Structure formats: structure tokens, C-alpha cells
Structure 1
Amino acid sequence: MDSKRIRDSEISQFEQFIRELNKYFKVKSIDSIQQYYNVEKKLNFDNELDDVKNGKERFQMSQQPLEDLHDDLMKFETELENQLEENMDDFERMLLTLIDEFIQAIEAKVAICRKAEDEYYEKVSNHCFHLLDKVPLEEMGVEVTPQLREMFEDKESLTEVLADCHAGHTSSFYAKVDNIRERCQSWIKEVLLGFRNTYIEERRRTRVFEIHHFMETQWDKLNSTKLSRSPSAK
């Protein structure tokens, strides 16, 4: 339970960090857009005062700020993606470390079980061999089944049956560890793939589309202003 609580806490903290990182770069993008709007507003105001400037001149004056805005937005996107990749790598290493520690803890407990199984096997073997040597099968006070009779037929048969039981118990311990390890590997693969798809791949596609759509809208506005101020439009 402690391992799960720690993993859940780390995942929650990472998700919160991702949200804060996105928020930080969103604010930077909004600031750049607002600065562009301020420049555009000033150019519009200056052009209203200066009738000499035509649409072409205004377009040329507004073109550079708009190109700068596009560069800023894409730069922020690149910076954000680089930071996301770096932190995703750190997050992956942290999860792998937690999983390794969890598996090691399981293996330590299995080692205790294995030791107890060895001790139990030794005690049961001694007891059974004592019965084989000292007590006739019919006097053991239990139902003499064909399996029991075969088991206590001789020392070799008894040794084989006890060894098979011991090997089966030991094998079940290791099979359990292997099962837990496989489930952990499947879990961490699913978590990391989901995070990369959501916070990097899907976010990148969505954000780049938003930037391109926004810039197309601004260019359309600028082009329409150029046409409206051209001599042929008057």
C-alpha cells in the first residue's frame, strides 16, 4: 500500500507540474499576443492620422510585428516541448526506480517465504521418514489411500514426493514474483505511453494547429486591411 501511495502521489505531483508549466507558457503567449495587438492598435491610430499612408505601406509596417509574433509563439512552443520531454524523462526514471524498489521489496519477502519453506520441508521430511521407519502405515491413524500407500512405499518414493511438493511450492514463489514484475512493467508502459500521448503528442498537434489558425486569421485581417486601403478600393 505504501508503494502504491507513493506512486500515486508522484503521478499527481507530475500532472500538477505539467499543468503549471503549460499555464506559464500560455501566459507568455498571451503577453506576446497582447503586445502585438498594442502595436497593431498604434499603427491603426497613426495611419488614421496620416492619410498619406496607403494600405501597402501599412501592410509593410504591420508585417514584421506579425512575423515576430509567430516566431515568439513557435519559440515558446519549442521551449515548452523541450521542458516537457526533459521532465518526462525524469518522471520515467523516477517511476522505474520506484518499481525497482517495489520488486526488490517483494523479492525480499519471497526470500523469507523461501527460507520458511526450506525449514518446513526439512521438518516434514524428518517427520515422514521417522514415520516410515517406525510406524506401520496402517497404524498412522489416517485413511490409507492409494496415493498415501504409494508415497510411503519406500524411502525413495517418499523422497521423490516430498521433493516434488517442495519444488512446487518454491516454483510458485518465483512465479508470483515474475507475475508481479510483468504487471508492473505493463503498468509503467501504459502510464508513460498515456502521458506522452496526452501531454506531448496530442498537446503538440493541438497547440501547433491553434497557432497556425490564429496566425492565418491575423494575416487575413492584415490582408483585408491592405485591400480596403488600396486606391482601387476607394
Structure 2
Amino acid sequence: MSQIYNTIEPNVINEETVRKALEEQSRDEAGQLAKREGIDFKDVTELQLSFKNILQIDNLWQFENLTKLQLDNNIIEKIEALESLVHLLWLDLSFNNIEVIEGLDTLVKLQDLSLYNNRISKIENMDALQDLQIFSIGKNNLDTLEDVIYLRRFKNLRTLNLLGNPLCDGEEYAPFTVAHLPELVYLDFKLVNDTMREAAILKYQYSTEPLKQAEAQALAQLEEEQAKQTELEYHKTAFVEYLNGSFLFESMYEEDAEAAKLASIPGVDDLLQEYRKEFVSVCENLFNYGLEQHEKREAEVSDFYGSLQEALTANQEQGRKIILEFENQNERTLDEIQNISSAEVAEAKLAEYSEDILQLSETLMTLEVQTADQLEELIKDFERNVADLVSTFIENVQRMMAQCRDLENRHHEKLLEISLNTLEKSVKNELDKDLPDDVRMFLVDKPTVVAAVTASHDIHLAKIASREGDILRSARHWQAAVTEKALQDEIDRNRSRFKEIIQYIENLQEEVENMEPVEPPE
């Protein structure tokens, strides 16, 4: 505990503390205005709370756009309550009583972090700070050189200060750090020159090479996982995720408590393997069909928006041509009106010009109506094409899922037949091998056997039905979403275009109204 507690009362971060700090930050005219009219914490990007004797970080959640935060020279013991400061780039927690690095997981944009002069004994819990460029953690309790290795994960780290930690006392400190952090530019406020870097890398290559290999393997694994995730997302857009293999088949047996028992019956294992092979084949056919249909749907959407853009481009070009012709034609008219000495003639010309404006408005509105009609037809064709694609897709999915059910039904019949034959042999003590006790427990009578086999069958059918339902719902949801979006986009565009025309016409009319009346000659 800091000795300062004996002389000064610890403080907390409250609204009064924050407002006073903001007023102190802004002593200029803008600051005085903010003081009179109030400060919206959401607008604050920098906050300095240094030398406030703060014991606990709190009440900063409203500063959601903060990029720079100074909490140095306080008595803070724990890094906390910073979760909402997701835009923070610069954080100073130096000269406090912090013992553990924590509470930084959401600060993914942080570039500059100072924990100088605290009580930290281990570098940890900083994995989220991948943008970190400057890190100061000098004058703490770090005593293990291996702590430096943790910092290898920060590929953007260029400036590091560790000076004042016990680990710096040995002569190996500097070369070890430079060798293990080869991208460092500054270490402990000194430039890392090429000679020092090359010597350090050569000296510690025995320990850095395994690290490089491990990191390369980790990176390759990460890239592989990301590729798999990307592929899975693509399969989801085609509504056939986890159908490229035995996933569905295996899921039918995950919750089937009777399956393992039934598999122990002589002859069931061979039956199950044949069932699995045929079932997986149907699933893979469905998977490939789903990808093929996804490509067709994507092509349909692409063609639609291509046609839509062509129509809009033609409309825009025609509209610009009409306006340009109007402006060219009436530029001379406006000049003439300005120079006409006769008020009556000027008024006549203005009236004529006003009529031209109304005619322009009617022409532009008519063009927009024609365009809207054209796009409406395009959207209707698109809706029909999408409906046909989805309908065909659903029909074929249902057909293939029916194949899965047929396979399950046939397997159920054969399994029931084998199970009843085994029951009969068991009753007559004619079994060739001993069965597990849990299998013998339901091989007691026909109703028990039938119940066990039927329960297994019902679970399998329910899984098939559930997966089929997921696919159909996804397809129908996509159909509704893609057609509704096309329709709503056009409604929004049409409204926006009408507003543009009205605004343009009103500006022209206002220009006419504001023209100064012609003064008759004296």
C-alpha cells in the first residue's frame, strides 16, 4: 500500500472529477463555452486525470469516443472499467500501484501503452493489443528474461522500455531482448542499430529458431482454420453446411442411447456400415446440388442488379441531358430579362420562363415515372425468377431428404428383423457369442426389442426432418430477404429522386421570384 494513503484521502472518478478535469484541459474560449453550455462526454476524445489521487478506475463508460486517456501519478491498484473505451489509442497508467496486467481485452486499437513505475511482475493478458506500437513498462518487478518472449506476438511493436526492472541487471538483457524482438527500433530510449541487431540474432539463434518454427506452425494452423471457417460460411450461404460428409449421419446417433447396444448384436455392424455409406452418398449429392444452386442464385442476383444499374444509368444520362438543354436554352433568357428596360416585357419573359420551369418539372417527373415502371417490371421478373429457383431447390431438397428417410426406413426394418432373430436365438440359447449385459437386458421379449429399435428409428427420423426444415427455412428466408431488399431499395431510390427533382425545381422558381424588378428609365 502506498505511503500516500497516510497523508491524502484516496479519490474516485465521479462526474464532478471528470468535469473539473475537462474544464482544466480547456481554458480557452471553447473551454469556457463548454463550461457554460455543458460538456457531452460522448464528444470528448482526450481526458487527463493525472495527479488526482485516484484509487479506483470507474465511471468512464460514457466516454465511448475517447482516444487518449491519462491516469498517471495516482494510486490505482487494478486495471478495470475500461471495457467501453474501444477507440482508445493512447493509455497512460504510469506511476500507480498496479500489480497485474488485466482488463485490456476490448482495447483492440491501442497503440501506445505506459505502465511505467508500477508493481507488475509478469507481462501477460495483452493478446488483444495487436496494434501496439509503443510499450513502456520500466521500473516494475519484472525479473525473468522470458517475459520478453511474450512480446513477440506484437508484430507492430517498435518502441519498448523495460529499464529499471530486475531483469535488466544482467549483461544478457539487451542482446536477448533485441534477438527475440527483431522488429524493435528503440529499446530503453536508445536506437537499436544494425550491428547490435545482427550480433544479438546470431548469438541467440539457438533459442529464436524454435520460436520461429513454432510461430510459423501456429500461423499455418490459424490460416487453415480461417480457410475452413470461410469455407463453412460459404456452405452456409448455400444452406448445405455439414452435408459434405458424415456429419448428419453421425448426428443421428449422438443422442441415440440405444444405438451402441443395437450395434453389438451380431450382423448389425455390417448393416450399419452399408447404411452409412448410402446415407453419406445422398448427403454429398445434396451438398453438391446445393452449391450448384447457390451459384445460380448468385448469378440471378448479379444479373438483376446489372440490369437495374443499366436502367438507372440510362435514366440519369437522359435526366442530365434534359437539364443541360434547359439550362443552355434559358441562360440567354435570363440575361435578356436582366437587360430588358420594359417592365411589361420583363414580366412576360419571366412568365414564359416560369412556364418552361413547370414544363421541365413535368418532363423530369414523367421520366422518373417511366423509369420506376421499368424497374418495377425488372423487380417482378426478378421475384419470379427467384421464386422459381427456390421452388426448384426446395423440391429437390425434399426429394433427396426423402431418399434419406427411405434409407432409414429400410435400415430400421432390417435392424428390427435382425434384433428379433437374435431375441429368438437368445431365448433358445443358440447365440454363437456372448452379448454385453446391457444388450441382454432388452433382449427379454418382443415388445422390449421393438420399443428399443423404434426409439432409435424415431430419433433418426427427427434429425433428418430437423435438417430438412433448416434448409427449407433458410431458402425461404433468403428469397424473402433478397426480394424485399430489391423492392425497398427501389422505393427509397424513387422517393429520393422525386425529392431531388422537387428541390431542383423549387430552387429554379425561387431564383425567378428573387429576381429584382426592372426599374423604368427616368
TM tier relative to shorter chain:
0.7 to 0.9
Using the TM superposition, give the Cα deviation of residue 5 of structure 1 relative to its aligned residue in structure 2, in angstroms. Answer: 0.5
Q: 1:65 aligns with which of 341, 356, 369?
A: 356
What is the aligned partner in structure 2 of residue 119 from structure 1?
A: 410
What is the aligned partner in structure 2 of residue 222 from structure 1?
A: 512
The amino acid of 1:214's aligned partner reads Y
What is the aligned partner in structure 2 of residue 27 from structure 1?
A: 317
Using the TM superposition, give the Cα deviation of residue 49 of structure 1 relative to its aligned residue in structure 2, in angstroms. Answer: 7.6
What is the aligned partner in structure 1 of residue 519 from structure 2?
A: 231
What is the aligned partner in structure 1 of residue 84 from structure 2?
A: none
C-alpha contact 1:137 1:149 (8 A) present in aligned 2:
no
Structure 1: runs of 5 or more not aligned: none
CA deviation vs aligned residue, 1:63-92 (integer Å, no higher than 9, x gap) = 121111000111111111122222212211
What is the aligned partner in structure 2 of residue 13 from structure 1?
A: 303
The amino acid of 2:461's aligned partner reads T
C-alpha contact 1:73 1:211 (8 A) present in aligned 2:
yes
The structure whose residues are more often helix, as a share, is: 1
C-alpha contact 2:420 2:446 (8 A) present in aligned 1:
yes
2-side partners of 1:5 and 1:173: how far apart? 25
Q: 1:182 aligns with which of 473, 486, 490?
A: 473
C-alpha contact 2:304 2:382 (8 A) present in aligned 1:
yes
The alpha-carbon distance between structure 1 residues 137 and 151, as it changes in their structure 2 partners (threshold 3 A), is: farther
Q: How does 1:75-114 map to 2 (within 5 A)?
A: 75-114=366-405
Q: 56-65 vs 128-137, which deviates more?
A: 128-137
2-side partners of 1:195 and 1:38: how far apart? 37
Per the normalisation by structure 1, the TM-score is 0.87
1-side partners of 2:521 and 2:321: how far apart? 34
Using the TM superposition, give the Cα deviation of residue 60 of structure 1 relative to its aligned residue in structure 2, in angstroms. Answer: 1.1
Structure 2: runs of 5 or more not aligned: 1-290
Q: How many residues align?
A: 229
Q: 69-78 vs 57-66, which deviates more?
A: 57-66
> Could you say what secondary structure the match of 1:95 adopts?
helix
1-side partners of 2:443 and 2:472: how far apart? 39
Using the TM superposition, give the Cα deviation of residue 176 of structure 1 relative to its aligned residue in structure 2, in angstroms. Answer: 1.9
The amino acid of 1:208's aligned partner reads F
2-side partners of 1:172 and 1:216: how far apart? 64
2-side partners of 1:187 and 1:80: how far apart? 27
Q: Percent identity?
A: 19
The alpha-carbon distance between structure 1 residues 43 and 72, as it changes in their structure 2 partners (threshold 3 A), is: same
Using the TM superposition, give the Cα deviation of residue 10 of structure 1 relative to its aligned residue in structure 2, in angstroms. Answer: 0.6
1-side partners of 2:362 and 2:381: how far apart? 29
Using the TM superposition, give the Cα deviation of residue 25 of structure 1 relative to its aligned residue in structure 2, in angstroms. Answer: 0.9
C-alpha contact 2:408 2:457 (8 A) present in aligned 1:
yes
Tell me the C-alpha RMSD between the 2 structures.
2.4
2-side partners of 1:149 and 1:82: how far apart? 74
Per the normalisation by structure 2, the TM-score is 0.41
What is the aligned partner in structure 2 of residue 39 from structure 1?
A: 329
1-side partners of 2:434 and 2:448: how far apart? 21
> Could you say what secondary structure the match of 2:437 adopts?
coil
Q: 37-46 vs 2-11, which deviates more?
A: 37-46
> Could you say what secondary structure the match of 1:221 adopts?
helix
The alpha-carbon distance between structure 1 residues 212 and 137, as it changes in their structure 2 partners (threshold 3 A), is: farther
The alpha-carbon distance between structure 1 residues 93 and 150, as it changes in their structure 2 partners (threshold 3 A), is: farther
The alpha-carbon distance between structure 1 residues 39 and 137, as it changes in their structure 2 partners (threshold 3 A), is: farther
Q: 2:458 aligns with which of 167, 178, 187?
A: 167
1-side partners of 2:294 and 2:432: how far apart? 53
1-side partners of 2:417 and 2:487: how far apart? 58
1-side partners of 2:520 and 2:497: how far apart? 38
Using the TM superposition, give the Cα deviation of residue 223 of structure 1 relative to its aligned residue in structure 2, in angstroms. Answer: 2.2
> Could you say what secondary structure the match of 2:436 adopts?
coil
Using the TM superposition, give the Cα deviation of residue 164 of structure 1 relative to its aligned residue in structure 2, in angstroms. Answer: 2.3
**Aligned pair 1:143/2:436, yes or no?**
yes
2-side partners of 1:233 and 1:115: how far apart? 101
CA deviation vs aligned residue, 1:164-219 (integer Å, no higher than 9, x gap) = 22232223222222221112222222222222222x12112211111111111111
2-side partners of 1:58 and 1:137: how far apart? 115
C-alpha contact 1:29 1:76 (8 A) present in aligned 2:
yes
C-alpha contact 2:341 2:521 (8 A) present in aligned 1:
no
2-side partners of 1:110 and 1:40: how far apart? 69
